Structure 1
Amino acid sequence: MVSRSALVVSKFDLRHLKLGMIHLPVEIWRYILLYAIDAPKILHIDPIPKGNLIEEAPYWASERTRNALRRVCSSWNRFLAIHSHRYIRISDFFHHMVPAASLPNATRIRIDECYCSKCSPFTSDRFELASIFENCVKSAHTLTGPIPWRVRIIDVEKHGYLDILALEPSRISNLRALLYWRGGNLPDIIFSASPPLSILRMRESDLAKMKQLDLSKISTLDIFGIQRTNLGVVHFPSLTHVSLDMSYVSRTHRNRVEQVLEWLQVYGRRLETFYWIDHVSEITDSEVDKVWSLCPQLQRIHLPLKATWPPPPSAHTLQQLRVYLFERLLSDEDYRSPAPCPACNYTHVDVVQFSHHLPQIAASGVGRIEIMTLVWHKWFDNTNAHIFCFWTQAKSYAIEVVDVSGMTFEQALVAYLEECKRRSVCKRV
């Protein structure tokens, strides 16, 4: 799929653009430029839980477009200059790549875990790095004062830095999506600042504290590390998209299915997305049937690893199935005995969930399967027979297979070849 930025640049060849021949109001040109440099997958809020950190490539592609367009004329340069650093990683401050003054204007901030020699927790002083970031935040806050910062999305990969950022409520007063990927629990300061969140990814252990927040606007909830705590301890009146990630626990605590089904009795009727991530619990066909009946509006679903595929009712609205990509442990009694691949008659060690249920899935009207953790371009140079066997079989049933970014194999291949071409041109210049 050709990106919007590439499309705009290809239509307006920067080497031959004659501005005198194109008479449009300034406001229209600004809309065109903003469209050209947009990176929706990075800078827009997606209500669907992803389960994986973002791929940054689309943003850097949009930045190359922005820099190219700045060279067209001085007015474009002035306008586009104010849209720099829309996406910031805190490691960029440690590497002296972005100024502190860029923080208040960033749309998305990633509290990332960098493993270079300067940032690695094994070779650097974490207190010194936190102090550097704190000084950057203070410097930026001195410039803006009480004026709200623009940040709408924050990704958290390590503990301690969100506290610094959220110390002043004005810095997170526009925050809509807080995605806590790794680290400890949410800092207490988040609950006292109470930003207007609509999307939240968090640990199960933070559930009880959620009562301190305004929950009326939270439409997407992504909870991980779930063990046996009562999911109903907090009420979310506007939930539409949910991901429940059950933790790996001892075998005596494996079956938590009933708890989830009870929770669905409260929230299931209005859910459009329900991702149920569970590698160890047993789930019967009748329990999957309960999911269909409790969630009549579902468009996207992810079922536990040990589920089979009892079809949903004929009137169901299901459009997309998300599946695991996992390594089958042939010695593990929990996994069913391996069956040869229908496409190549070879027993793959790596397996795509529901590989042997594609006829039933197609008969259910599901036209799209997303493979969790799959990024197409990362598989082009690797051993990937199991992926392409699954893709071939799915195509034979008219089922589209996409990766975590929503790209089909064909779209990813075109993007991959375009990037290879761009890099070869850059090397020659």
Structure 2
Amino acid sequence: MRTAQHMFEVLGELKGCAAKLGQLLAIYELALPPELAEPYRIALSQLQDAAPAMLPRTVHEAIAASMGADWRDSFREFDDRRAAAASLGQVHRAVWHDGRAVAVKVMYPGGRQAVEGDLEQLRRISHLATVFLPGADVKAVTEAICDCVREELDYAAEAEYQRAFAVAYADDPDFYVPEVVAQCGDVLITEWVEGTPLTRIVATGAQDERDRVGMLMVRFVTSGWGRHGLLYADPHPGNFRVLPDGRLGVVDFGACCAWPPEGFEELAIDYCKAFFTGGGPEQLEAATRRHGFVTFGRAFDSDALYAVVEPCSEPFKHATYRMTTPWLRKQVLRTTNPRLSNVVREMTMPAYFTPFARAALTLVGVLSQLETEGPYREEILRWMPMLAEALGTLEDPDPDRPVDLAAVREQRAQAANRQMSVG
């Protein structure tokens, strides 16, 4: 408990990178062993709820710095009370001059400088992450998170992405993306989204609603690039609302990018061959080297890596599958096993893959919180049809089938002997 509380105390001093790290940890604390999860749950809940609010005078000064001294002329009403916290600012509810209810996101004064200051603070607690990420390059993870936060400081870029998503999903029966009303400097004004926060559904929602909303999240993230060439990389519970008509409202487009990059489809196909068409460890090693996930010239145990990663593909081997907290915990414990540290140390991640990794890991964490059951394979194939050959013809395997590392190695040895005999 002292470790978790220390993390809260240090992170609570920060406004930038640490707040984003706290969001991610709040999702994945459910994957921790039960004896560790409870103190982290309490501390991280405090972190999310305790972000300091700007005083009204500070808010007014920040808006005036971006919109001008006459900024109030743009609004019929402006509520000085914070409606929501953002990782580097806060949101206020207001009424635009034309009568529309709007959300006004205002960046903390000095937010950019705070991000740089956070780096040093995060280094103070980086060793704590080894409790549940043994063998990980914690420094690199910290820097990657801060890079993401830096990108989210560009409100002009966020406005352009939100406009693109709003056009792409206009009149969509499943989703609502609020229109951008105005963007000036460090102020972003969008239509207000009224609905049930996803965080409430995670906490108290009926299972059928949790299933429906979880699959809508999968559809939004995957259809974004499948239909429109855009990746929404921050599917955090705080960014979604369920509207009264059942649609999923989406806010906060600071973490978006054009997607997929060149080579991503080939990467997806290569890894599908490894896990779904019998390619096995050899195909996994080839794909890992081909796509830059291992440092050139370095050796690693592909059998061990395959035995650990293969169970993570289970949701896509069945017509329907339920992600759960115990399932996620099992995957996290398996992939962070200290015995794999020698393998993990050889792994790396291409820079271009960072947004997708962030989106995928966050989404899986939320789906496990919701305990969503649904047709994951079908939904992925709907937006990535080039994977049909690998995913579309699978027979449902035994859900309890373990991956036996010794058996994998024995199969490889037998295959090699057969090839030698033929030769």
TM-score, normalisation: structure 2: 0.23
Higher relative contact order (CA 8 A, sep 6+): 2
